[in-house]
Structure 1
Amino acid sequence: MKAFVFGLGGGGDVASTYIASKYLELRNISSIIGAVTWERYVEDPLPGPICKEDLVNANPVNNIITEIYPSSYAIRKNVKVIPQLVRYIKALKIERGYSICIKEGPVAIADGIEDFSVKNNIKMIIGVDAGGDVLAKGCEESLGSPLIDFIMLSSLVELKKKGFEVILATIGSGSDGELDQEYIMQRIAEIARQDGLIDAKGIDKSMEKDLNLIFSSVVTEASKIPFDAFKGLYGEVQIRNGLRKVKVSPISSIMFFLDPEIVAKTSPLYAVIKDSTSLEDADRRLNEVGIYTEYDFEKDLYEKFGLYAKKRNISEIIKIREEGKTKLGKLKLKC
């Protein structure tokens, strides 16, 4: 059996696909690795996802999936950007990986993944999230990046409807500093009560060598914290240049495998996103219920600072986010 395992939330989520792929090895299932290619503003100066038209030394499979290689890179506003997916496959000497473009809505994305999966005899699909934001409901004051996660959660639900074996995996509970670790444990328990918890797998000693290789190349904080927790890190740490604080404990090193349909059913955000027809439409729908997204944040940063947002100090960055949230007004979502 063959599985498509991909980083669900963009950026460094791809590093966490390693734990899922090792879990599958124990079940004699081989993995093809992919990721949503969307980098944080400190890596990519332009707002939004990296898609086939941006990629160099790459081979489009369809409008959603592009085959990439260790030599692949993106050009964004004349700036060379190396996606974390490229860094990942290069670190592990993997011949190719697969970029997922999310300019379309969940149904079109699922159709693209289905086309790719059929061509490659893939029966299982696992979307991997680092941090646990994909378990949000939408009313959490600290939530900062619901757009990518819920477009892809919605796509996973569509893929399950198509007959694939589909799993949502999340690791590093709270490791991106948006949702509290205890809150994520409560959400997993809620999902488990509805028979939505499938399995759990922690990082183990056999993974250490490869994870060291991955984290020497892939730029990520949220995906690295689980490994740091495995190595003994405990307590509160700061990430994002001091923008957020994260509680780290042994729980951080455990990956939970969940039924995406149950996750979706327990979150109002799914209902907001599921019928969206494009990235822009999904973003608009979230704005309409008072949610300021990571895409809004990137667009506001770019409008204010152009290509140089990563050079601004933390107080300027915080101000942009606060102003953006204020413009949208009161939250209109019931949780």
Structure 2
Amino acid sequence: MDPYEGAVGLARQIAQAAEYCGADRIEIVDVGGDVLADGCEPTLRSPLGDALVVAACRRTGLPAAVHIAGPGLDCEVPEAVLLPRLDDPEFTLTTAHTHCVSDVFDWHPSEASALLVAAARGIQGVCGIRDAPGPVVLGPASAHVYRLPLTRVLDINRLAQALDATTDLAQAEEASRRVCGFSEVDRERARAGRQRAAHGRTERRPGEQVDPAFLYRRFTDWERHTAATGIQYATTRRFAEELGLPAAALLALRRQLQHTAPARSEPPLWRLHSDGQPARRQT
């Protein structure tokens, strides 16, 4: 989906896709539930993409519904805030539902989706993710999926309402600043600039070898500090970014971890070593 023509252009793309596929309805899936944000939540970080999709789907005129999977797993709107806005879950994900996506996390370290898969596999505990005000707690509701009519989501999502007639990304960003007080695209631009600068300083020369033992020592130092804060699991993306690992180094570290500590590999998460109570797996 291309957001550069705002909700109007996005609606055109979705309508064309529906026509091509012979679809007579739209089912939107949001992992975490920030699509149900009203824009005032202090922990909200990335509402624009979801709100654009909701606004665009309304413009298509096709019947549409929204599925909320794993309320609170994106660490944007807390589970305790979301659950009163939801009815009973439509169904609960299980390990069997996750087999078809297991290999995806080898090349795409999505965090909210990884947490949803972990919850479906029965993992419960405190998980650290990147760039968040606090950890995510995987609990009994984390594998639930809820279904709402699009009109109900629009009643809550003030940003989606404001995006209705936008025809370019600049207008969409301005609507986000007006409703939510920020545009997440500004933050991502700044992050990309920092990462380019960091990779420029650490980029390896062609043929230069990655030392797995050195990477493992760095990881264990980071792990000791992180586990001391009460975090029991970590996403690949969190330790990759906090350790500043380029792709080759991350691959080498993951192989080293799988070799030296296979019992702590809980794909798509990593269970951190701690002297305290171990994280538990729901049975």
Evaluate the alpha carbon distance shift between residue 240 and residue 125 of structure 1 in structure 2; reply closer, same or farther with a 3 A threshold: same
| Bigger share in strand | 1
- Aligned letter for 2:10? I
- Look up the match of 2:256: none
Q: 1:301, 1:205 → 2: CA distance?
A: 34
Percentage of identical aligned residues: 25
AA aligned to 1:307 is R
The match for 1:215 is 105
Matched, 1:280 2:170: yes
Change (3 A) 1:243 1:116: same
Q: Contact 1:302 / 1:309 at 8 angstroms: preserved in 2? A: no
- Give how far 1:242 is off: 6.6
User: In the alignment, which of 228, 232, 240 is matched to residue 118 of structure 2?
Assistant: 228
Alignment check: 8 A CA contact 1:169 1:256 kept: yes
Following superposition, the deviation at residue 309 of structure 1 comes to: 5.9
Whether 1:307 and 2:208 are equivalent positions in the alignment is no
Partner in structure 2 of residue 297 of structure 1: 187
Shift in Å at residue 293 of structure 1?
Answer: 2.4
Corresponding residue number in structure 2 for 1:116: 17
Match status 1:258 vs 2:148: yes
**In the alignment, what sits opposite 2:47?**
146
- Unpaired runs of 5+ residues, structure 2, are 203-239, 243-283
> How many corresponding residue pairs?
203
CA distance in 2, matches of 1:136, 1:289: 11
Note if contact 1:170-1:256 (Cα within 8 Å) is conserved in structure 2.
Answer: yes
Are 1:135 and 2:36 matched, yes or no? Answer: yes
Q: CA deviation at 1:148?
A: 0.8
Residue 78 of structure 2 is aligned to residue 188 of structure 1: no
Cα–Cα, structure 1 residues 142 and 208, in superposed 2: closer, same or farther, change >3 Å? closer
Residue 176 in structure 1 maps to residue 74 in structure 2? yes
Measured on the aligned residues, the alpha-carbon RMSD in Å equals 2.5
Task: Please say if residues 181 and 247 of structure 1, whose CA atoms lie closer than 8 Å, have aligned partners that are also in contact.
Answer: no
Q: Which one-letter code corresponds to 1:165 in the other structure? A: P
The residue type paired with residue 288 of structure 1 is R
**Where is the helix percentage greater, Structure 1 or Structure 2?**
2
Q: Distance in 2 between matches of 1:223 and 1:313?
A: 18
Paired letter, 2:138: V
Cα shift readout 1:251-285 (whole Å, capped 9, x = no counterpart): 11111121111111123222222222222101012
TM-score normalised by L of structure 2: 0.64
Partner-residue secondary structure (3-state), 1:169: strand
Paired residue type of 2:69: I
Worse-matched range after superposition: 212-221 or 165-174: 212-221
2:166–2:172 CA contact under 8 A, matched in 1: yes
Write out aligned runs for 1:1-335 (5 A): 100-159=1-60, 162=61, 164-189=62-87, 200-240=90-130, 244-289=134-179, 291-302=181-192, 305=194, 307-308=196-197
User: TM-score scaled by structure 1?
Assistant: 0.55
Once the two structures are superposed, residues 223-269 of structure 1 have per-residue CA deviations (whole angstroms, 9 ceiling, x without a partner) of 12122122222232211167541121121111112111111112322
CA distance in structure 1 between the partners assigned to 2:93 and 2:151 by the alignment: 26
* Higher relative contact order (CA closer than 8 Å, sequence separation 6+): 2
For residues 53-102 of structure 1, what are the alpha-carbon distances to aligned partners after superposition, in whole Å with 9 as ceiling and x for unaligned?
Answer: xxxxxxxxxxxxxxxxxxxxxxxxxxxxxxxxxxxxxxxxxxxxxxx111
Q: Structure 1: give runs of 5+ residues left out of the alignment.
A: 1-99, 190-196, 315-335
Deviation at 1:105, TM superposition (A): 1.6
The aligned amino acid for 2:109 is V
Alpha carbons of structure 1 residues 306 and 180: separation in structure 2 relative to 1, 3 Å:
closer
Give the whole-Å Cα distance in 1 for the aligned partners of 2:33 and 2:20: 31
